[in-house]
Amino acid sequence: MDLHPLRFVDSSGEIPICRMCQRFCAIRPEQAGFCRTVVNKAGALYSTIYGLIAEHGVDPIEKKPVRCYRPGTKVLSLGTFGCNLRCSWCQNWEIAYVDASAPIRARRYSPAEVVAIAQASGCDGIAWTYNEPSIWVDFIADCAEAAHAAGLYTALISNGLFSPDAIHALHPLIDVYRADFKSLDAAMYREQGHLSSHQGVLDNIIAMHRAGVHVELVTVVMPTYITGEHLARMADWIIRELDVMTPWHLTRFVPYAQLTHLPPTPRAALDEAGAIAAAAGLRRVFIGDWYESTQHEPESVV
Ligand code: SF4
């Protein structure tokens, strides 16, 4: 198996700790971390997925969804294997739940090759998407550096679980941070993502915004979980911690995997969610999926 020495490690204790994401896995020899992409070999930690591409494609940036950064441009979308959450409705489970601590038949690409593919495909940027980018920070950092040198922009499409170390290392290299803003309640992350605290997710959104990275947020309006009262609190949080111009995408829940007992979000509920966000004062609220998304009144001033 192709192993790449991990950059974000705390080796001060008896058991090395991976510091790429907020799980901070302590990984014993011959074991793997939660995401199954970091392994301990003879006491040192390695990534098994450096440059390992599960899926790639050329997309309009709006598909991510990112609506207010370089609209009309194209990105090379890249994803690898594994994830650090276990959302019960995951639609990318075929790549996200793969055990990458065992050998996988997929091609590896160098950062220079990724940039060359983006340029040859007529892309203006590169987006790390499909599965969760906070599990292959080393590769993203190397690619992003090469992308900027080639005049391409960079976008992270993330569940927000980067560690503070990773955010600190990445923010100068990243132009767009499109983060999931699943909820303000820890219970949602605990029940749906098996994550004990979501504070780090919120801290990362604030850190990227303050660092001058273009931030857009996505919330899946899940029936029973995301109520009108909850949406109003989320809107207030965005205005308080970021600003009224932060783009907020309110998207439909589609029953999937372990949540097939829940109904899909009706269009009327999305419209209502958009009205709540706009009434709170947010100026860039998008409802629905990207191809049918509409900007909710009041119109953006941009
Ligand atoms: S990336 Fe996250 S989940 Fe994976 S081993 Fe490191 S700390 Fe654990």
Percent of the chain with pLDDT over 70: 95
Please give the pLDDT value at position 13: 95
Site of tokens 């097939």: 260
Site of tokens 């998207």: 251
Atom of ligand 1 nearest to the CA of 19: 7
Instruction: Calculate Rg over the CA atoms of the chain.
Output: 19
**Domains of the chain, earliest start first:** 55-295 (3.20.20.70)
The answer on pLDDT for 22 being more than 70 is yes
Pocket test for ligand 1, best of 6, 21, 49 (most atoms within 8 A of CB): 21
The answer on pLDDT for 107 being more than 50 is yes
Residue nearest atom 4 in ligand 1 by C-alpha distance: 35
Question: How far is residue 234's CA from residue 5's CA, in Å, rounded to a whole number?
Answer: 39
Cβ–Cβ < 8 Å for 77, 123: no
CA atoms within 13 A on the CB side of 277: 34
- Ligand 1 centroid to Cα of residue 26, in Å, is 9
**Could you read off the pLDDT of 138-169 as tens digits, one per residue?**
999 999 999 999 999 999 999 999 999 999 99
Please give the pLDDT value at position 196: 84
Question: How far is residue 246's CA from residue 264's CA, in Å, rounded to a whole number?
Answer: 26
Residue nearest atom 5 in ligand 1 by C-alpha distance: 33
- Ligand 1 centroid to Cα of residue 297, in Å, is 41
Token pair for residue 242?
């970021």
**Could you read off the pLDDT of 179-221 as tens digits, one per residue?**
999 999 888 888 777 788 899 999 999 999 999 999 999 999 9
For residue 21 and ligand 1, the question of a CB distance below 6 A is answered with yes
| Rounded mean pLDDT, 271-281 | 96
In this structure, what are the phi and psi dihedrals at residue 233, rounded to the nearest 5 degrees?
A: -65, -40
Residue nearest atom 6 in ligand 1 by C-alpha distance: 18
Token pair for residue 194?
């098996």
Please give the pLDDT value at position 296: 52
Sheet holding 38-41, edge to edge: 4-5, 44-47, 38-41
Model confidence, pTM: 0.94
Q: What's the DSSP call for residue 232?
A: H
Average of per-residue pLDDT values in the chain:
92
Percent of the chain with pLDDT over 90: 78
> Coil, strand, or helix at residue 8?
coil
